[in-house]
Amino acid sequence: MAFLYESPSPFLCRVKLFASNFQIPAARQAGIGLEASIGKAEADVIVIGSGIGGLCCAGLLARYKQDVLVLESHDLPGGAAHSFDVKGFKFDSGPSLFSGFQSRGLQANPLAQVLDALGESVECASYDSWMVYVPEGEFLSRIGPTEFLKDLEKHAGLDAVHEWKKLLDAVLPLSAAAMALPPISIRGDLGILSTAAARYAPSLFKSFIQMGPQGALGATKLLRPFSEIVDSLELKDPFVRNWVDLLCFLLAGVKSDGTLSAEIVYMFAEWYKPGCSLEYPLHGSGAVVDALVRGMQKFGGRLALSSHVEEIVVENGRATGVRLMNGQFVRAKSAVVSNASMWDTLSLLPRDVVPNSYQDRIKATPQCESFMHLHLGFDAKNIPDDLGIHHIVVNDWKRGVDADQNVVLISVPSVFGKDLAPEGKHVLHAYTPGTEPFGIWEGLDRRSAEYKNLKTERSEVMWKAVERALGPGFRREDCEVKLVGTPLTHKRFLRRNRGTYGPAIKAGEATFPGHSTPIPQLFCCGDSTFPGIGVPAVAASGAIVANSLVSVSQHNDLLDAVGI
């Protein structure tokens, strides 16, 4: 899921805003060498930003024997997916719900495929449910083909059960086609005819044969909004429609009328097929970042923290390097790859070299809203022993899942990761997923009483959701750590334009941009590019850019090595 699946998705700021004296980078704890300076001021490829997309791109480039340098503005790697430490509590800043780490082959999560290519793995706990609090009641939502039906019957009725079965019967056969072409096989030139089209044509053809005529016809809708599949099945039960909208919104930042069917079909296959499970990295989402950094450095890639890129340098119409805030020029012999958002990438370019049409398209692209975050560290003694790791609170279906202050997501990773909190304690992350309006925060002085009062007011919905999830034994005043993040936190520390979650691009109306730009030798990866928002998507985008910068034979060798 976008913010969860990653999701996700997703993405609090550097915690320096809150508690700079307590930061202990997760990567440092894991023994990863993090460079304080750039060293040699030259590389084959420079990657701007160490988000998951940027690290996937850099890791694969290093494996392809390219001299790659990642420049990260902050003093922690990982972008929105980094972890941070406060008083012994290790917090996830963004992604909290994962799956597909343990799968292999064509159907594996693109991030798992990149980790395989780098010879790295992430230790995970497996589980199959999360708590849901909706207007109809509260229940433990279980993944798998049959368990969710029991919850539906109890809370929504038999009509909802029949419609959900109808939806699964239509969607699950489509997953074979959705997964037949792994994103890691894609590249941005005609070499795709070898690495993707020819290589996977037999499996794609086989999947269409297995689906039969009706299924094959349905597969033509994979590139259309998922609502079209829902509508074609004449699904009318309010709970089913609302639930589908919720899943789509958490996955892609838009409801079912804007989510690409291929995305939601992939997710349905991950969550509602026999034997499926969710996974959580035992050492937090920072363990995923650590694994990517380790893999990149193993193959000679470099990471420079606290290295803020001020400008992408364009000479004779080509991107030739970057200029840092301290004035230093770092040359890129082959390419510059930006892992920043489309709006932030544009701000790094000299205006006179960017075609007006490109500028206009970026400025006209709608944005998802931002986030409120609540990070808590507290004693576990009065908390239920059977507390689940994930909780979703929906206050009012009628307002829509994309309404502000309406949906709260809660993650308690210390349920599985015992080293994420001191003994006998819990660590918790609650957030409103891409629904917090930036406009009400814009221009506020972060030191002002107005800002502090607004933080108190807008965080209350999260506090109430946490109290509902943890039960009467939880007391907010007893928390040892209380951190609140706002859209201004995002804007300032993640350097996200208006603190946005990413582009609010609706399937059927527009498509996510590709990875090349009008500036030769400048490429983009991350949630502003194809396939879109979410950990699997940004991992795929980084892989696609890396593949596009090497030969077809190198790319095919990698696919052979990964076993797909």
| Residue pLDDT, tens place only, 428-473 | 999 998 999 999 999 999 999 999 999 999 999 999 999 999 999 9
Q: Do domains 33-85+283-364+506-562 and 370-499 have the same CATH topology?
A: no
**pLDDT, position 507:** 87
Q: Cβ distance 502 to 251 under 8 Å? A: no
Instruction: Look at the pTM and tell me if it is higher than 0.95.
Output: no
- Cα separations in angstroms, 384 against 92, 381, 419: 22, 8, 19
**pLDDT, position 175:** 77
Kindly tell me the sign of the dihedral angle through the C-alpha atoms of 251, 253, 257, 262: negative
Q: Where are the domains of the chain?
A: 33-85+283-364+506-562, 159-272, 370-499
| SS3 label, residue 321 | strand
**pLDDT, position 103:** 66
Closest among 75, 180, 33, 81 to 542, alpha carbons compared: 81
**pLDDT, position 378:** 97
Q: Cβ distance 57 to 525 under 8 Å? A: yes
Q: Which residue has the tokens 């986030």?
A: 371
**pLDDT, position 212:** 61
Closest among 366, 493, 504, 499 to 441, alpha carbons compared: 499
CATH classification number, 33-85+283-364+506-562, choose in 3.30.1120.10, 3.40.50.300, 2.40.160.20, 3.50.50.60 = 3.50.50.60
Q: Cβ distance 401 to 249 under 8 Å? A: yes
Calpha distance 273→147 (Å, rounded):
11
Pairing of strands 129-134, 390-394: parallel
315-328 residue pLDDT tens: 999 999 999 999 99
Q: Please count the other Cβ atoms lying within 10 Å of the Cβ belonging to residue 201.
A: 12
Which ranges in 233-341 belong to alpha helices (H)? Answer: 238-252, 261-272, 286-298
Q: Which residues, given as ranges, of the chain have pLDDT below 50?
A: 1-36
Measured in degrees and rounded to the nearest 5, phi and psi for residue 476 equal: -60, -35
| SS3 label, residue 124 | strand
**pLDDT, position 214:** 55
Closest among 548, 539, 545, 524 to 48, alpha carbons compared: 524
CATH topology classification for 370-499: Guanine Nucleotide Dissociation Inhibitor; domain 2 (3.30.519)
